[in-house]
Amino acid sequence: MTLFLSTHINKVDKKGRVSVPAQFRDQLVGENFQGVVLFRSNTQPALEGFAWSYMQEISRRLENFDLFSPEQDDLAMTVFGDSVQLSFDGEGRIVLPMDLVEFAGLAERAAFVGLGNKFQIWDADILAKRREEARRNVRDKGLTLPKGEAA
């Protein structure tokens, strides 16, 4: 079971290369494909990363839609068509395509945020603001975890 935890900040060099945190890499050993799959978050200025095997799961779920339904077309195009397969180099780095760098507003520092079976990549500064906002929401609205359902 892959489990991405905690937040790690690494540098993005001018070619878009960035080290995937070793803790995350360790979760991916034994995969057929030594690397990650990235695509744009639908709701946030961030990239979402998965193990390649997780894409198979997504592929299976997509088949639950009716074939030729507009919803299926839209999802398939955004999920698969917008995704990229990035393999590690010898040092465990990936190269982020330019358009994804722009989409996430990535500057020098990239923040890898573990979210269980997936992770996100944020620009560190944007994430800091976003975090502050989230904390405020939790405090103001008194959000709590319901018992039972949480994984």
Partner DNA sequence: TAAATATCCATGCTATACCATGTGAGTGGG
Partner DNA sequence: CCCACTCACATGGTATAGCATGGATATTTA
Question: Contact residues for DNA (CB under 7 A)?
Answer: 8, 10-11, 13, 15, 18-23, 25, 87, 89-93, 95
Give the one entry of a second copy, DNA, none that residue 54 binds, where binding means its C-beta sits below a cut-off of 5 to 8 angstroms depending on kind. none
| Residue 130 makes contact with a second copy by CB under 8 A | yes
Give the one entry of DNA, a second copy, none that residue 126 binds, where binding means its C-beta sits below a cut-off of 5 to 8 angstroms depending on kind. none
Q: Would you put residue 142 in left (φ > 0), alpha (ψ -120 to 50) or beta?
A: left
| Residue 66 makes contact with a second copy by CB under 8 A | no
Q: Smallest gap, in angstroms, from Cβ of residue 101 to a second copy?
A: 15
Question: Tokens for 28?
Answer: 């991916």
| Residue 87 makes contact with a second copy by CB under 8 A | no
| Residue 22 makes contact with a second copy by CB under 8 A | no
User: Taking the CB of residue 122, how many other CB atoms lie within 10 A of it?
Assistant: 26
Residues that bind a second copy (CB under 8 A): 1, 3-7, 23, 37, 42-44, 52, 55-62, 64-65, 68, 70-71, 73-85, 113-117, 130-131, 133-135, 137-139, 141, 143, 145-148
